[in-house]
Structure formats: C-alpha cells, structure tokens
C-alpha cells in the first residue's frame, strides 16, 4: 500500500479515470453509430429510429445481448449474486430477442386494444426501478450508482415516449432513448466488474 503523499494522489486520480474510461468509450461509440445511421437515411433520418428493422433497433438488440453476456459473466465470477445475476442475464437476453423479433408488438396486436397489451412494457419499467431500489446499497461505487440510476431514468423516459403522448420529434427518437438506457446499463455492469478487479488487486 502506498502512503507517500506524492504517490497516493496520482493513484487515486488514475483510479477515477479508469472508472469512467469505459463509459466514455461505450457511450461515444453508440452515439457515433446512431449519428451515422441517421446520416445514412438523410433527409429521412427518422427511418433510422423505426422500431421495426431499423439500424438503431438492431443496435438496441445487440446492446441488450451484450448486457446479458456481461451480466452472466458477473454472476459466474460472483461480482453479482449467482441467482440474481443469472436471472438478470436471462431477462436481458429475452429483451434482446423481443427487440429483434417484435415479440411484445405481436402480443399487443393479439390481445387487441385492451390495457393488457402494454403490460409487458410496463413490467420492464417496474422491474428496472424495483431492481435499482433493492440493490442500491449493494452497489460498490458512486460511479456504479450513477450509471444504473441514469440507465433506469433513461429507460423510464423511453417508456413514456412509447406509451405516452410525447411531441412528434421526441416520439420518433424512442429507439434512441432505449439505446442510451441500454448503453448506460452496460457501463454500470462494466463498472461493477472493474471495481471487483480493483478490490482483488488491493488485497
């Protein structure tokens, strides 16, 4: 353990930099991909954000599957409790399949115009908020808490865009808001893994 004044400061600074590096990379790449998709469709940029077969919808599915893989890895390495991490991974994988094959849209069309058709979408939002509340105190770093909180807030906003009555331009960006939430959640999982490795190194 380093105790000299000239060493401990830079070490802490480097740790802080490492905790945000993956966030900058992931969010930066995702933002660049969405911008490129919109530019390719210009002047009909909104086509890039359609929920059926668009570039951003594919990106959303890919991010969900990446989240599922990282969550499973975190469960197997005990970064997350095995049962909770495995269930989270399975749920994220199902959401990736749903995003790619429009499962909840088919369910909604089958049940008609009743409120039951929105139940799966609302369940995702309730589950996200409940999970954040339950695991809040167990999150090891402030960075992890901030990332997961931002992810859930972005996800809830995306749900409002989907189910509410947002302005037209905002409504066209629904898939984009979902992608932002998914990228922030992925960054939160990566921060959990990073903090675990750091703790093991310092022992």
Query: CA torsion sign, 64 to 67 to 71 to 73?
Result: positive
73: nearest Cα among 190, 195, 202, 198: 190
For 110-134, the pLDDT digits (tens) are 776 666 777 788 889 999 999 999 8
**Chain mean position to CA 51:** 17
For 31-87, the pLDDT digits (tens) are 999 999 999 999 999 888 886 678 898 999 999 999 999 999 999 998 889 999 999
Would you state the structure tokens that stand for residue 127, as one six-digit string? 């589950």
* Res 10 pLDDT > 60: no
The full set of domain ranges for the chain reads 5-202
pLDDT computed for residue 13 by the predictor:
43
- Report how far residue 144's alpha carbon sits from residue 32's, in angstroms, rounded to the nearest whole number: 23
- Report how far residue 95's alpha carbon sits from residue 104's, in angstroms, rounded to the nearest whole number: 9
Would you state the structure tokens that stand for residue 124, as one six-digit string? 């995702």
pLDDT computed for residue 11 by the predictor:
40
Would you state the structure tokens that stand for residue 22, as one six-digit string? 């993956």
Asked if 140 contacts 109 with a C-beta cutoff of 8 angstroms, the reply is: no
Q: How many CA atoms within 13 Å lie on the side-chain side of 58?
A: 8
- 182's enclosing H/E stretch is helix 174-202
pLDDT computed for residue 3 by the predictor:
35
For 130-182, the pLDDT digits (tens) are 999 988 988 988 999 999 999 999 999 999 998 888 899 898 899 999 999 99
């Amino acid at each position: 353990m380093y105790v000299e004044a000239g060493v401990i400061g830079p070490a802490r600074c480097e740790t802080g930099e490492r905790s945000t590096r993956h966030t900058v990379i992931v969010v930066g790449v995702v933002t660049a991909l969405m911008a490129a998709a919109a530019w390719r469709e210009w002047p009909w940029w909104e086509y890039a954000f359609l929920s059926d077969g668009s570039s951003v919808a594919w990106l959303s599915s890919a991010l969900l599957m990446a989240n599922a893989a990282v969550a499973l890895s975190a469960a197997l390495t005990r970064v997350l409790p095995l049962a909770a991490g495995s269930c989270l991974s399975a749920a994220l994988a199902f959401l990736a399949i749903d995003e790619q094959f429009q499962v909840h849209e088919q369910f909604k069309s089958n049940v008609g115009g009743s409120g039951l058709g929105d139940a799966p979408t609302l369940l995702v939002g309730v589950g996200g908020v409940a999970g954040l509340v339950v695991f809040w105190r167990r999150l090891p770093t402030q960075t992890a808490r901030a990332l997961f909180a931002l992810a859930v807030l972005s996800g809830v906003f995306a749900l409002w865009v989907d189910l509410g009555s947002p302005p037209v331009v905002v409504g066209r960006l629904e898939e984009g808001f979902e992608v932002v939430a998914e990228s922030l959640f992925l960054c939160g999982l990566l921060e959990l893994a990073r903090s675990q490795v750091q703790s093991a190194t310092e022992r």
